[in-house]
Amino acid sequence: MWRRTAMGGDDGQERRGGRPHAVMIPYPYQGHVTPFVYLAIKLASTAGFTVTFVNTQHVHSQISKSHHEDGGGDLVSIGRRSGLDIRYVTVSDGFPLGFDRSLNHDQFKEGLLHVFSAHVDEVVGDLARSADPPVTCLIADTFFTWTSVIAGKYDLVNVSFWTEPALVLCLYYHLDLLKENGHFAAQDQERIWKRKDMIEYIPGVKAIEPRDLMSYLQSADTSTVMHRIISKAFADVKKADIIICNTVQELEPDALCALNAAQPTYSIGPVFPTTPITTSLLFQSDCSHWLDSKPPASVLYVSFGSYAHTSESDILEIAHGLILSEVHFLWVLRPDIVSSDRPLPTHFLPDDFGKSGRGLVVPWCRQPEVLSHPSVRGFLTHCGWNSILESIWCGIPLLCYPLVTDQFSNRKLLVNDWKVGVNLCASSPIARLQIADNIRAFMSESYHVELKKVALRLRATLADALAMPPAATNTDNNNNAGATIAPSGAGSSTTNFNAFVEDVTTRSTTKLQLHHGRQPKPNSIDHCSGSSTQAIPANISLHFVPPIITACNSHPGPR
């Protein structure tokens, strides 16, 4: 069952042949939905795409409730109000809205593996038959296992959107090598955890310790539904026409070039919004007044993301560690951080917690606004990729406490490779005294100065990647009069985004020409450099707008 919630553009007018039309389907979790929304807006606003955004009814319901909407708004309505041709469709994930997808994690994942594709097939099939302009490409999350089948069925360009770092994609991409070398799915998995040898045989990965692999690759039980999803998804991604990654060429050059050698891959990150967009599944507290009351560069921001869980004992140790550290802190503490069916008790935290005025605890917040506030000095994080990109963009160093999935590999990038983060604790179980000592050291002036320099340097790397020189204006006889084309000298992500748009457009034209029995023109693209020997179509606008998180720019200099 699916529902066309809202349409955009000029429905009912003559068909607009030649305009790319992307169907976009994110994995139904906050960390995946957010970059998909930002990319949808970017494709429509800077590349002239028509976009149909397919969201699950459950995610749509959660977002609507968290923002007290009456159902009239949706994730991409802001784009339509700006005149962009973005349509919005909701589809069932196979479960009732009231079904607890967190508590019944495995059952929900089984549904995504076996049932969800039928609902998506119905949506895409209907759009393929009737959409105007015709659907030309399917942009789906890499974790889906069925993308190549549905894209092939309707003769669409198959684009896999990877929302995590390229390092993690390289590791998943080469599961076969990890198995061959006994670092994954070995009979004695416990022995692997104790191995000290470096993994140095993965293309694009110079060296990584077994303890820095994603949590699923460290698991002793490899028969779980998540392992089956991983196996199928990363076999399916190798059938994609194009992979796009929410990362930056300069941050992960080796991993991206290795992926490019295997199939066309474009790094287009960081994918940030050009205008404020509501994507949160939780109600967001306004912390600005509390932050305004604190001295500059004095607050430790603490958040463990929208998905990960941890134990009550660890939460209690962190709480005591924060008290003992005597630093100002803002802690985003989700009620379901331990379990969705067992919210944290009201009086779970220590009696004196927060009474001194040094700390504020909220269930959720507007994270980009917090990170860009001048009172924030550091970020105690679970190492989720979106959080990392937002923190670096705002020049904020990170104190690392990874919990699940890719977060262990992300921590390796922050601490070992980029030197912008440090570990909260060296080992488990975590202890309050060690937490307090490490927080004090992390927030100290002597320690902070060097971390801040690195954070600002990385922030400049992100900004340079998104750089867009003055655009050359070009007028054509089509509907996009005055469209802009990016001249040479653009940042790497801007260049790659433009090349990706060209690649999709060319492949779409090829499929249409073959469908009508005409021989397509050849196209030669250097996917490692992001350049192409074919000119960008004149009717495509490729002006790349800098991200909205430039609120950080209003607080220049070290903090």
Q: Mean of the pLDDT values across residues 142-148?
A: 98
pLDDT at residue 195 above 90?
A: no
* Range in 194-198, 203-207, 244-248, 459-463 with the lowest mean pLDDT: 194-198
Neighbours of 250 (CB within 10 A): 16
**pLDDT given for residue 334 in this prediction:** 86
**pLDDT given for residue 426 in this prediction:** 80
pLDDT digits (tens, 9 = 90+) for 353-388: 766 779 999 988 989 999 999 999 999 999 999 999
Q: How far apart are the first and last CA of the chain?
A: 51
CB of 205 closer than 8 Å to CB of 233: no
**pLDDT given for residue 555 in this prediction:** 38
Match 């457009």 to its residue by tokens.
505
Burial tier of 150 (Cβ tally within 10 Å: 0-12, 13-18, 19+): buried
CA-nearest of 358, 368, 459, 361 to 418 is 459
CA angle 53, 54, 60 (to 5 degrees): 105
Question: Using 50, 70 and 90 to split pLDDT, how confident is the model at 484?
Answer: very low
Question: How far apart, in Å, are the Cα atoms of 211 and each of 196, 228, 388, 436?
Answer: 9, 22, 20, 24
CB of 278 closer than 8 Å to CB of 185: no
The distance from CA 154 to its chain's CA centroid, rounded to whole angstroms, is 27
Cα dihedral across residues 459, 204, 409, 28: positive or negative: positive
CB of 269 closer than 8 Å to CB of 491: no
**pLDDT given for residue 129 in this prediction:** 94
Distance CA 118, CA 127 (A): 14
Q: Mean of the pLDDT values across residues 118-144?
A: 97
Residues 6 or more apart whose Cβ sits within 8 Å of residue 550: none
Question: Using 50, 70 and 90 to split pLDDT, how confident is the model at 521?
Answer: very low
DSSP tag of 117: H
Question: Using 50, 70 and 90 to split pLDDT, how confident is the model at 188?
Answer: low
**pLDDT given for residue 53 in this prediction:** 96
**pLDDT given for residue 196 in this prediction:** 76
**pLDDT given for residue 470 in this prediction:** 64
pLDDT at residue 536 above 50?
A: no
Strand partners, 526: 531
Neighbours of 295 (CB within 10 A): 10
pLDDT at residue 532 above 60?
A: no
Delineate the domains of the chain, giving CATH numbers in brackets.
Answer: 2-164+222-267 (3.40.50.2000), 288-465 (3.40.50.2000), 472-551 (no CATH)
pLDDT at residue 281 above 60?
A: no
Question: How far apart, in Å, are the Cα atoms of 39 and each of 47, 52, 481?
Answer: 11, 12, 23
Q: Mean of the pLDDT values across residues 411-416?
A: 98
DSSP tag of 165: -
**pLDDT given for residue 80 in this prediction:** 78
**At 424, phi and psi to the nearest 5?**
-70, -45
CA-nearest of 453, 452, 433, 432 to 442 is 452
**pLDDT given for residue 352 in this prediction:** 66
CA-nearest of 374, 364, 415 to 396 is 374
Question: Using 50, 70 and 90 to split pLDDT, how confident is the model at 278?
Answer: low
Match 């196996």 to its residue by tokens.
231
**pLDDT given for residue 460 in this prediction:** 97
Question: Using 50, 70 and 90 to split pLDDT, how confident is the model at 268?
Answer: very high
pLDDT at residue 75 above 70?
A: no
pLDDT at residue 462 above 80?
A: yes
Question: How far apart, in Å, are the Cα atoms of 417 and each of 207, 229, 388, 454?
Answer: 10, 29, 14, 11
pLDDT at residue 206 above 70?
A: yes
The residue with greater pLDDT, 205 or 526, is 205
Distance CA 184, CA 188 (A): 10
pLDDT digits (tens, 9 = 90+) for 485-513: 444 579 999 999 999 999 999 999 888 77
Question: Using 50, 70 and 90 to split pLDDT, how confident is the model at 466?
Answer: very high
**pLDDT given for residue 549 in this prediction:** 38
Question: Using 50, 70 and 90 to split pLDDT, how confident is the model at 547?
Answer: very low
**pLDDT given for residue 448 in this prediction:** 94
Neighbours of 114 (CB within 10 A): 14
Q: Mean of the pLDDT values across residues 35-44?
A: 95
* Range in 163-172, 253-262, 350-359 with the lowest mean pLDDT: 350-359
Two tokens, residue 83 = 């005149």
Q: What's the chain's average pLDDT?
A: 84
CA-nearest of 301, 323, 307 to 380 is 301
Question: How far apart, in Å, are the Cα atoms of 538 and each of 67, 475, 518?
Answer: 40, 8, 22
* Range in 156-160, 164-168, 341-345 with the lowest mean pLDDT: 341-345
**pLDDT given for residue 24 in this prediction:** 98
Neighbours of 166 (CB within 10 A): 31
pLDDT digits (tens, 9 = 90+) for 427-437: 778 999 999 99
The residue with greater pLDDT, 407 or 553, is 407
**pLDDT given for residue 364 in this prediction:** 85
The residue with greater pLDDT, 350 or 192, is 350
pLDDT digits (tens, 9 = 90+) for 1-14: 556 555 544 443 33
Distance CA 199, CA 145 (A): 27
Peptide bond into 28 cis (omega under 30): no
Query: 326 in helix, strand or coil?
Result: coil
Question: Using 50, 70 and 90 to split pLDDT, how confident is the model at 537?
Answer: very low
Question: Using 50, 70 and 90 to split pLDDT, how confident is the model at 71?
Answer: very low
**pLDDT given for residue 275 in this prediction:** 53
The residue with greater pLDDT, 349 or 276, is 349
**pLDDT given for residue 20 in this prediction:** 95
DSSP tag of 265: E
CB of 528 closer than 8 Å to CB of 267: no
Query: 499 in helix, strand or coil?
Result: helix
CB of 327 closer than 8 Å to CB of 358: yes
DSSP H or E segment with residue 126: helix 116-130
What is the 3 state secondary structure string of 39-105?
HHHHHHHHCCCEEEEEEEHHHHHHHHHHCCCCCCCCCCHHHHHCCCCEEEEEECCCCCCCCCCCCCH
* Range in 18-32, 39-53, 123-137, 191-205 with the lowest mean pLDDT: 191-205
Report H helices in 263-349.
288-292, 312-325
Q: Mean of the pLDDT values across residues 109-138?
A: 96
Report H helices in 131-214.
147-153, 166-173, 175-180, 189-194
